[in-house]
Amino acid sequence: MTSLASVVSSSRARLFACFLRLGSQQASPLQLHTGASLAAKSHYEVLVLGGGSGGISMAARMKRRVGAENVAIVEPSETHFYQPIWTLVGAGAKPLSSSGRPTANVIPSGVEWIKARVVDLNPDKNCIHTDDDKKISYKYLIIALGIQLDYEKIKGLPEGFAHPKIGSNYSVRTVEKTWKALQDFKEGNAIFTFPNTPVKCAGAPQKIMYLSEAYFRKTGKRPKANIIFSTSLGAIFGVKKYADALQKIIQERSLTVNYKQNLIEVRADKQEAVFENLDKPGETQVISYEMLHVTPPMSPPDVLKTSPVADAAGWVDVDKDTLQHKRYPNVFGIGDCTNLPTSKTAAAVAAQSGILDRTISLIMKNQTPVKKYDGYTSCPLVTGYNRVILAEFNYNAEPLETFPFDQSKERLSMYLMKADMMPFLYWNLMLRGYWGGPAFLRKLFHLGKS
């Protein structure tokens, strides 16, 4: 398979790479966090729940606000993953090892790492409890607990992953199984699913479909592959401009899309997938597969579902403009665990981190937050091993594009940004609290335009 390094980048890609390098030179050198101190405190000015993209980014920003010794992160995982790259891992374009780093290496130096799991939130008493029976209090709380994968809500999973021909790019334990299933494909149905729940990176379930189709073409298997995208949704994408572009690709590549179909069971021993027709509840269809990619149902983390900070659906109930909690003024939310009405992506977290930083800084000064989050999110829709449609949009599902060209067109430059530049930006700028989204780039590229 052609490596990215052997692909000649466009002038725009080289220009953007140079810009990112300049930006990273403004960031402080990486200092490794070596683990929790022996004398962990029981109170912090800022307590961050979750060590994912939102939690680490906000801890870095809060360190600069109040000092490292006054910030702590509660996170049980030993490894931090850059999950957006798993789309390419599942297609064999990137190694899994490139996606992870020790959590200790990404927690800002001096910030306390509380290696435990949150089991209870008590915002009325400004404290939380962990699974090692510790009570930790705070002045300000940032909730960044991400989203929960619920494979078990599909009958036959997760145990079905022990069988061949089935994978999922949403878990570190199953992403390489996608690549194995792709390589082992001989002939028959290749099925890709989208569940009947909110998901993170809503474009990923179809990205692997386009990559698989490209792989089948490259290996001469395309004539023997019937490629099916079975989605619980009623449209291929939520923004018309990009949906139109994707529909054209679907037609040109002879892909089958079944709408309002929800995967409810996997019979991995028989290589069968069972779907329910959401327009006719109770009506099911059994489809045999030679390859199956599962996007699992997802939900708020269990600890949040019955917490006082949650809305009726279990998500952290925040103001969509400021990310401040609607009932607890010293509590804030960021990322996938919130009820912000925008797509749950790493790009959204980056934009939210800049807004939340300003919100908290003003709250700390007893001032009213003024900067508003516009719902910016981004989905690099990978349509092949060297092409991406870069979807960017806001709360109103209106395109909010960064570059001065039509981003609904497949481009090599946008693939290079997805595959190489975004990981660089993530590890070197975002996690250090120096990247709040591309708004300033948008202004730069569109300078002088009406």
Q: Write out the catalytic residue numbers.
A: 201, 379
CA–CA distance, 15 with 441 (Å, rounded to integer):
12
**Number of residues assigned to the chain:** 450
CB 390 within 8 A of CB 378: yes
Cis peptide before 205 (omega within 30 of 0): no
CA–CA distance, 343 with 185 (Å, rounded to integer):
32
Which residue spans within 368-450 are E strands per DSSP? Answer: 377-384, 387-393
Cross-strand pairs, 128: 121, 136
CA–CA distance, 415 with 143 (Å, rounded to integer):
32
Question: Both tokens of residue 239?
Answer: 């923004």
CB atoms < 10 A from the CB of 42, how many? 10
Which residue spans within 36-104 are E strands per DSSP? Answer: 43-49, 71-74, 79-81, 100-102
254, amino acid identity: S
By DSSP bridging, strand 148-149 and strand 298-299 are antiparallel
The residue among 290, 275, 295, 265 whose CA lies nearest residue 164 is 290
- Residue that has been written with the tokens 């992870």 in this structure: 100
The residue among 251, 429, 434, 422 whose CA lies nearest residue 345 is 422
CA–CA distance, 13 with 41 (Å, rounded to integer):
46
Query: In terms of C-beta density within 10 A (0-12 exposed, 13-18 middle, 19 or more buried), how is residue 113 classed?
Result: buried
The residue among 405, 372, 376 whose CA lies nearest residue 388 is 405
